[in-house]
Amino acid sequence: MAKPVLLTVDDDPEVLRAIERDLRRQYADRYRVLRADSGETALETLRQLKTRSDPVALLLADQRMPQMDGVGFLSEALNLYPDAKRALLTAYADTDAAIRAINDVKIHHYLLKPWDPPEEQLYPVIDDLLDDWLSTYRPPFEGLRVLGNRWSPKSYEIREFLARNQIPYQWLDIESSDPEIRRLAESLGEEASHLPLVLFPDGTRVSAPTNTEIAGRIGLRMRAEMPFYDLVIVGGGPAGLAAGVYGASEGLKTVIIESQAPGGQAGMSSRIENYLGFPSGLSGGDLARRAVAQARRFGVEILAPQKAVGLRIEGPYRFVKLADGSEISCHALLIATGVQWRSLDIPGVERLQGAGVYYGAGPAEAISCKDENVYIVGGANSAGQAAMYFSKYARRVVMLVRSDSLASSMSQYLIDQIKNTPNIQVEPHTQVVEAHGQERLEAISIQCGDSGQVERVPASSLFIFIGAVPRTDWLDGIIERDERGFILSGSLLVREGKRPKSWTLDRDPGLLETSVPGVFVVGDVRLGSVKRVASGVGEGSIAVQFIHQYLAKV
């Protein structure tokens, strides 16, 4: 943590050096002593400190300075650091001005020049001021901060990226009434108009950065250490992470390529209550964090955010092309890319995505919905988990379900929890037919399936959980898929006793093997898989045994 600052200001070089010397002698072990030779220079220093969230404990300014006197400086500084102790350094002839300043700009003390000996004339006063400051001091947040607008899609994208990668950050809503946020915006000047603005702990800041830019600055790994691996896993959800843990722990040099954040769609689940071994349940974020730590302990490299965009086969080698133009080769490839939320194709949704309309929902978003009405589209487990989590913050959670009940698509434990939560309302036979709003979501139109009647209701947040689709276009022409993009494996590839044209071995494809030998598939992206976290972990675990068998014969 950065030491709190003591800032002294004087246009007289000799006096400035003397006061700085005496302050350092007494306080340098606990405070950072800075100096400025004018009021303007000192204000610029304070603005820079503000953008870094550095604390300021004391401002000590000489009264007689050209352009801006000490009272003028302390008056301006009050807007930036209202909690800092303010003291005026004066000559005997200026004591009247110092006394007036106690009332006018709320200075806490004035000191006469010269202050010799400091042990009697300086330190007792400063000690008292600093003790008073420390009694109410609360250390500022030291990590990454995001200044933006809640209804900005780009702001939401950045927040979601940081949350899913479990990067601690502080969200600063520019429309908040918090005076600290207003002071920060004022200190940034013109920069505050280019939002969202990401402020890094080292004091640098970037307007509307891409996820890749953020990842590079905070040290996420996006490039592989080696050109060749025993096992490359594309997808860092539960299935991919499980395969990484088992593969690396059994001696395979393993790398995981994840396009967004480790944990996949499961990592966004607010609560998973039926996962074996966790009787109190756990969040998707906790599961992802534990799995990532376990994988890294065994030596798995995790590249995120990094995207696989192509695949080519050359004899026993499989080459994965990445979005940055580089390639990684391997003997065995495991595809565990999971699925993504299916789009809700109605007017207004695409335009307002990230500005009140969201696919899925991370726990961080629930806090923004405090005391609001939240609408959820969908009736499966993911929608139920989100409804339960939002119910802790929202005034009311309305689930819009097309079927006649939740029983056909949701686990019974979740149905029971929803029934017993008074601020969750389930509306069967309903669907959203339009989203309304200019800069942000303002209302939605809901159609009743029984009567066909359409009702428009005010809404600021709509969360969509309506099934999922694979994103496997990068495998086109190489790996066999069905018409929706799910990857075929095992016996599904052998039709009327004939193996796929791309199959080169004198045996049928194994249980989790695709149409190309040495390329395996697990988890939700596999046609016929059970869409559950535990089953994905199971498939990822047993796939490593099949990979060992394949590698033994390469």
Q: What is the DSSP string of 407-464?
A: TTTS-HHHHHHHHT-TTEEEEESEEEEEEE-SSS--EEEEEETTT--EEEEE-SEEEE
- State pLDDT tens for residues 378-414: 999 999 999 999 999 999 999 999 999 899 889 999 9
**Under 8 Å between Cβ of 487 and 521:** yes
CATH superfamily of 228-339+470-551: FAD/NAD(P)-binding domain (3.50.50.60)
Q: What angle do CA 217, 195, 218 make, to 5 degrees?
A: 10
pLDDT at 284: 87
Q: SS3 of 104, please?
A: helix
Residue 76 CB partners (closer than 8 Å, separation 6+): 39, 43, 68
The CATH class for the domain spanning 357-467 reads alpha beta
- Is the whole model's pTM more than 0.85, yes or no? no
What length does the chain have?
Answer: 554
- State pLDDT tens for residues 186-220: 999 899 999 999 999 888 999 999 999 999 999 99
Q: For residues 85-95, give the mean pLDDT.
A: 82
Ranges of H-type helices in 270-317: 284-297
363 pLDDT higher than 70: no
Residue 213 CB partners (closer than 8 Å, separation 6+): 206
- Whole-angstrom Cα distance, residue 365 to residue 159? 9
Domain boundaries, the chain: 5-136, 144-218, 228-339+470-551, 357-467
Considering only CA atoms, which of 101, 89, 85 is closest in space to residue 9? 89
Q: For residues 67-81, give the mean pLDDT.
A: 92
pLDDT at 142: 81
- Whole-angstrom Cα distance, residue 60 to residue 15? 12
- State pLDDT tens for residues 23-58: 999 999 999 999 999 999 999 999 999 998 899 999
The radius of gyration of the chain's CA atoms, rounded to the nearest angstrom, is 30
- Whole-angstrom Cα distance, residue 47 to residue 192? 13
Handedness of CA 19, 25, 30, 35 (dihedral sign): positive
Q: How far is CA 281 from CA 141, 143, 239, 241, 367, in A?
A: 30, 29, 19, 19, 21
Record: fold of 144-218: Glutaredoxin (3.40.30)
What six digits make up the tokens of 43? 């204000």
- Whole-angstrom Cα distance, residue 267 to residue 362? 8
- Whole-angstrom Cα distance, residue 177 to residue 200? 23
Backbone angles phi, psi at 50, to 5 degrees: -65, -45
Window from 36-50, 97-111, 382-396, 500-514 with minimum mean pLDDT: 97-111
Rounded to the nearest angstrom, the gap between the alpha carbon of residue 235 and the centroid of all alpha carbons in its chain is 19
For the domain covering 5-136, report its CATH number. Answer: 3.40.50.2300
What six digits make up the tokens of 447? 């159609």
pLDDT at 515: 97
Handedness of CA 215, 217, 218, 223 (dihedral sign): positive
Rounded to the nearest angstrom, the gap between the alpha carbon of residue 257 and the centroid of all alpha carbons in its chain is 19
- Whole-angstrom Cα distance, residue 37 to residue 67? 12
pLDDT at 1: 66
Q: SS3 of 4, please?
A: coil
Do 228-339+470-551 and 357-467 share a fold?
yes
pLDDT at 203: 86
pLDDT at 362: 64
346 pLDDT higher than 90: yes
